[in-house]
Homo-oligomer: A and B are copies of this chain.
Amino acid sequence: MKSEQLRELSVPTFSSRTAPGASTALDRWALTCIRRMVATARVRFLLWDGVESGPLSTSATPLVGTIVFRNRRALFSWLWDPDLYFGETYMFGAADIRGDLTAVLMEIYRALGRETRRSWWLWQRSNDEHAARENVHRHYDLGNAFYQRWLDREMAYTCAYFPTPGATLEEAQIAKMDRVCRKLALQPGERVLEAGCGWGGLALYMARHYGVTVRALNVSGEQIAYARDRARSEQLDDRVEFIEDDYREVRGQYDVFVSVGMLEHVGAADFPTLGAVIDRSLADRGRGLLHFIGRNRPSPLNPWIRKRIFPGAYPPTLAEVCDHVLAPWDFSVTDVENLRLHYAVTLDHWRTRFESAADDVAAMFDEAFVRAWRLYLAGSQAAFVTGSMQLFQVVFARGRSNAIPWTRFG
């Protein structure tokens, strides 16, 4: 990780040099305003001097947790912009959460009610190639050693598929890769283009188990280096080519296009560009699969997640993907599956592994980094459990191609 990133993450924006003193009438007014934003949540709020505000509804059900403000600046920053400063104050320890973090976040998501209905995608700036590289670098080049601490053996950093809820994460990531291959009905000798290949697990799996050749692109240098090493050591480098480049630069013709977990980073402004790349890359009988985090209704990603975790990211609706990636080139949607609850379980596994490695991670980065990632993982889990986020796998084919499976893979 670059030192300037570490410095940025570590700036103690919310530390107070002096103790905040007793809370005032204004502080308690701010607390009441915050309390009202999540009126139905079974959580308690606590100020630095012990002043508290309980649930507004006099429910007999027990509290899920307590949110603690450690100083005045944290309190008023929440009032000013809760979407951003919830995360900021938490990561720097100026706010804290007692109780199970995911459970408290689920309470808050549910209490916040329905998402806004504005069509945010129009506001999105384009992620040009430079911005895309920067965005990916910020997240995916944190070091392979970091991700190895809490991902599965295949280094799959996307939603797994659990044949049963009790399957292991290793089993579930293999099952996910196999499911993608089966949905695409891969045939030996076919040419596959993968956009956004992560550490290369899926590309290697497709070549090994389905006999295809794969060209796999990714703008993360660290991931590509890791993937190439693996291809060589597994003697698959004659059939799997890992290329450090942007999806827009791809050339050639392919039978299959696949992208698992990249679309969220493309940004809605570039959906037509992605569609054009798929269109010029796919053969006449071609088909493809897009696996992405999505929404029921257009809604921006939480600003704190955009600032600290995923710059430039936007989880689209199914309709936005249909209208702006697929329809302009007459691609036909053949199959959609929503794996939202599978992502919730995936995140539960990641969280458990991440917490086991928390001390090591703090030593690699710092405590604010650990707290930021703890919040991101728990918040994502809460979002998938409460239905605020979806996970779509969309299979598509050329609109005029009848080379589509007669019955689908269950």
CA distance A402 to B330 in the complex (A): 34
Cβ B332 vs Cβ A327 within 8 A: no
CB distance from A126 to the nearest CB of B (A): 22
Q: Mark A258-299, 1 if CB is under 8 A from B, else 0.
A: 000000000000000000000000000000000000001100
A335-B337, A338-B334, A390-B332 known; A165 vs B408 contact (CB < 8 Å)? no
Cβ B163 vs Cβ A327 within 8 A: no
- A131 CB–B CB distance under 8 Å: no
Cβ B297 vs Cβ A327 within 8 A: yes
Interface size class of A (residues with CB under 8 A): 35 or more
CA distance A114 to B330 in the complex (A): 8
Cβ A387 vs Cβ B406 within 8 A: no
Cβ A341 vs Cβ B400 within 8 A: no
A336 and chain B: residue at smallest CB distance: B336
- A38 CB–B CB distance under 8 Å: no
A162 and chain B: residue at smallest CB distance: B406
Q: In chain A between 352 and 410, which residues have their CB closer than 8 angstroms to a CB of chain B? A: 385-387, 390, 392, 399-402, 404, 406-410
A319-B319, A406-B165, A409-B410 known; A338 vs B332 contact (CB < 8 Å)? yes
Q: Mark A17-50, 1 if CB is under 8 A from B, else 0.
A: 0000000000000000000000000000000000
B residues near A132, Cβ cutoff 8 Å: none
Most buried by B among A114, A326, A336: A336
CA distance A203 to B297 in the complex (A): 32
Cβ B341 vs Cβ A402 within 8 A: yes
- A14 CB–B CB distance under 8 Å: no
Cβ B336 vs Cβ A333 within 8 A: yes
A407-B163, A408-B410 known; A327 vs B333 contact (CB < 8 Å)? no
CA distance A316 to B294 in the complex (A): 22
Most buried by B among A385, A386, A402: A402
- A110 CB–B CB distance under 8 Å: yes
CB distance from A348 to the nearest CB of B (A): 14
- A340 CB–B CB distance under 8 Å: yes
CB distance from A176 to the nearest CB of B (A): 12
Apart from A296-B333, A387-B401, list 12 A-B contacts with CB within 8 A: A115-B330, A164-B406, A296-B331, A296-B332, A296-B399, A297-B328, A333-B338, A335-B337, A337-B408, A341-B406, A385-B402, A407-B410
Interface pairs A-B: 6 shortest CB-CB: A410-B410, A336-B336, A319-B319, A319-B322, A387-B399, A334-B338
11 residue pairs from A and B, CB less than 8 Å apart: A114-B330, A297-B327, A317-B323, A318-B322, A319-B323, A332-B387, A332-B390, A335-B338, A337-B408, A387-B399, A387-B401
